[in-house]
Amino acid sequence: NAGVMQNPRHLVRRRGQEARLRCSPMKGHSHVYWYRQLPEEGLKFMVYLQKENIIDESGMPKERFSAEFPKEGPSILRIQQVVRGDSAAYFCASSRSGEGESPLHFGNGTRLTVT
């Protein structure tokens, strides 16, 4: 029973390129959350998705960032025209339901480096 799978584990992009981060939730989980951890800072919520729906994107920067969770396939966090300030660890988590009592399972993260 595979856990939350994120890929790639490490991603290097030059300024102006696009970064695509993938997250496959645990089997049976239809709720996905993306978090960002900037260097030397704590985790911050970015976006909460269910299949084909964005539930809460209040933590997403207004420009260049988008997320989707299609009916088939992994959830994708897309960052267009990356800048150095986007360098961070991006974590995905999944849960069976969106209720507070539902356990969260985290992936190992994608470390994005923008050069």
Partner 1 sequence: KNEVEQSPQNLTAQEGEFITINCSYSVGISALHWLQQHPGGGIVSLFMLSSGKKKHGRLIATINIQEKHSSLHITASHPRDSAVYICAVKITGSARQLTFGSGTQLTVLP
Give residues in contact with partner 1 (CB under 8 A).
31, 33, 35, 41-45, 48, 55-56, 58-59, 91, 93, 95, 98-101, 103-109
Smaller CB distance to partner 1: residue 17 or 68? 68
How near is the Cβ of 85 to partner 1 at its closest, in Å? 19
For residue 99, CA distances in Å to 47, 69, 103, 104, 110 come to: 16, 19, 9, 10, 26
Q: Are 82 and 18 within 8 A, CB to CB?
A: yes
Smaller CB distance to partner 1: residue 48 or 79? 48
Q: Report phi then psi at 84, rounded to 5.
A: -55, -35
How near is the Cβ of 81 to partner 1 at its closest, in Å? 26
